[in-house]
Structures are given as structure tokens and as C-alpha cells.
């Protein structure tokens, strides 16, 4: 039973809820929209976000990296937990979600496992949200291994168990590999956050639901699994978004950035697999 407070049992969350919660996203790009939106929250202040595909230990992975202010240990813990949100709507930013659920539902919709690397000016932290890990240890509630390295060297001594869990159940099996990912953030700026998602959702024939090969500068939904109920024949394919081809939005990840900022009315850079995309002039749509 969960720890009691004043003799009253605390509520817990079953690991199965991670999958059940992710089904709120029927369209994979809406899950990506949640992750994009998180990077542009006023308290994160990212100016750019990089979205890419990579292979690690033979597995297809999606990566999201921003050059925002990074997450403190406390904020990372809230991000990996449920129901904690500090998002507020402003004149310049209307968040997609405000219930502290976006990262969990979005990341777990895309894959079974996610690891978060984040750097602030004082700390570097790593957190793991992994269905595979929870299944492997037979967990009865959601556990989120998390470690923090302070620049002054005063690290959290209680992080030993979390470090062992991360090195055993993630794609990164040594502290050297973890620090390599933290250093990758420095290529974008002194602070920021990097998310890697793996064990991506697959189709019935075992392929990932994303097509990473047709266009090396884009990520597409495979046409045979997309919702075609309201689509024209031309939207079977992907082109860069334009006034003449907005119908193609259902298939190309580059276009989800346009969809998000039609709502948020923001002009920002997103780097899609090595190609910058500055979206402007969308307020008329």
C-alpha cells in the first residue's frame, strides 16, 4: 500500500495508465504538438527546437531538443509526474495543455520509453519515463528514476538507485554516454532540454508508424495507417506546407509546426531533420 499521510492511504498510479493515458492522442502529430508547445512555454523560453530521427543500439528513436532555460530537479520531477502544471495563457502564448499531462500523454503515444536530459545554469539532470522498465521490474506503481549533477559537485547521494536503473533499462549504459547526451545540448546553447523516445509505436506488420526514409528532411506518417476519411488523393503524399497544399498537413511532420502556430500565433524556428523552417504570416488562417 502507498505511504500513508495521517493514516489515510495516498492514491497511486498504475504503470498501465501510461499507455491508457496516451490513447487521448489518436493522431501522432498531436502528440508531437504537445512536446513542441512545452518547449515554448514562457518559463522555458526556447528560441529554437530541433526534431530528428536517429538510431541508437539498432532502434529507431525520435529526438526533441530545445535551447530553453532547462529544468531544475524539482521541475523535471513534476514533468515526469501527473497533474503538475505551471502553464498560464498570455497574450503572446496560449498553451496547448494546462493540466500537467502533455509530456506523459505525448511521449507515451509516440513510444514506450522516453529519457529526458536537461541543463540549467546550475544543474544537469536525467529522468526516465519507461513502460519497459516498469514491466521489467514488475512495478505496481509508476516510478521515475532521476539523477542530478550539480556544477558545484554537491550531487544527490540518494541518486544511486536511479542511476543504476537508468543505466540498466535505458539506451545508455554508462555515465559517459549520459554526459555525451548532456553535452549535445551545449551545441544549441548553455542551457536546454533533450528528449529521446524509443520503442516507437508500430503498425500491424511491424513497421514504425512513421516513415523516415521517403524524405530525409521530413518525418511522414505511413499512408496505409493514416486517417483518410477527409483526405483527397493528393494528400497521400507530403510536400512542404504552402497555401495550395494545406490539405497535406495530415502526413508531414513539418506541417504540424504550422498547425501549432496557427493556434499560438508565434513565429519560431523549428529544425526538422537538419532543415530550418521559419513559420511566419500564419495569423490570417
Residue (of 64, 163, 47) closest to 106 by Cα position: 64
Over residues 24-41, the pLDDT tens digits come to: 777 787 788 888 877 776
Over residues 261-282, the pLDDT tens digits come to: 544 544 455 676 665 554 433 3
CA distances from 269 to 174, 236, 276, 278 (A): 33, 26, 7, 5
In degrees and rounded to multiples of 5, residue 268 shows phi and psi of -145, 160
- Average pLDDT, rounded, for the chain: 76
Residue (of 270, 246, 245, 244) closest to 257 by Cα position: 270
Domains in the chain with CATH codes: 10-200 (3.30.565), 221-274 (no CATH)
Over residues 225-240, the pLDDT tens digits come to: 544 444 433 333 332 3
Is-above-0.75 flag for pTM? yes
pLDDT at res. 4: 56
- Model confidence at 65: pLDDT above 90: yes
In angstroms, the CA 93 to CA 70 distance is 19
pLDDT at res. 120: 95
In degrees and rounded to multiples of 5, residue 14 shows phi and psi of -70, 145
Helices (H), ranges, 223-266? 253-264
- Model confidence at 96: pLDDT above 80: no
Q: Is the sign of the CA dihedral 198, 174, 117, 217 positive or negative?
A: negative
- Model confidence at 92: pLDDT above 60: no
- Model confidence at 133: pLDDT above 60: yes
Average pLDDT over residues 118-147: 95
pLDDT at res. 135: 95
Amino acid at each position: 500500500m502507498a505511504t500513508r499521510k495521517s493514516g489515510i492511504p495516498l492514491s497511486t498510479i498504475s504503470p498501465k495508465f501510461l499507455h491508457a493515458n496516451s490513447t487521448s492522442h489518436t493522431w501522432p502529430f498531436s502528440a508531437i504538438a504537445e512536446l513542441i508547445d512545452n518547449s515554448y512555454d514562457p518559463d522555458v523560453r526556447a528560441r529554437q527546437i530541433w526534431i530528428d530521427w536517429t538510431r541508437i543500439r539498432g532502434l529507431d528513436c525520435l529526438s526533441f531538443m530545445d535551447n530553453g532555460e532547462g529544468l531544475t530537479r524539482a521541475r523535471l520531477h513534476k514533468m515526469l509526474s501527473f497533474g503538475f502544471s505551471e502553464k498560464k495563457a498570455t497574450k503572446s502564448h496560449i498553451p496547448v495543455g494546462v493540466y500537467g499531462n502533455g509530456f506523459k500523454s505525448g511521449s507515451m503515444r509516440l513510444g514506450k520509453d522516453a529519457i529526458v536530459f536537461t541543463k540549467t545554469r546550475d544543474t544537469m539532470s536525467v529522468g526516465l519515463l519507461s513502460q519497459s522498465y516498469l514491466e521489467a521490474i514488475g512495478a505496481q506503481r509508476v516510478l521515475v528514476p532521476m539523477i542530478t549533477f550539480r556544477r558545484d559537485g554537491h550531487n544527490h547521494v540518494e541518486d544511486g538507485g536511479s542511476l543504476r536503473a537508468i543505466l540498466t533499462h535505458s539506451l545508455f549504459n554508462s555515465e559517459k554516454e549520459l554526459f555525451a547526451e548532456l553535452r549535445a545540448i551545449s551545441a544549441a546553447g548553455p542551457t536546454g532540454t533533450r528528449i529521446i523516445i524509443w520503442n516507437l509505436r508500430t503498425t500491424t506488420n511491424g513497421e514504425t508508424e512513421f516513415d523516415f526514409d521517403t524524405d530525409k528532411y521530413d518525418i511522414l506518417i505511413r499512408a496505409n495507417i493514416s486517417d483518410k476519411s477527409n483526405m483527397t488523393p493528393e494528400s497521400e503524399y507530403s510536400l512542404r506546407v504552402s497555401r495550395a497544399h494545406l490539405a497535406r498537413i495530415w502526413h508531414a511532420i513539418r506541417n504540424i509546426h504550422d498547425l501549432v502556430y496557427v493556434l499560438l500565433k508565434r513565429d519560431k524556428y523549428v529544425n526538422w531533420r537538419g532543415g530550418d523552417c521559419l513559420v511566419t504570416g500564419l495569423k490570417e488562417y
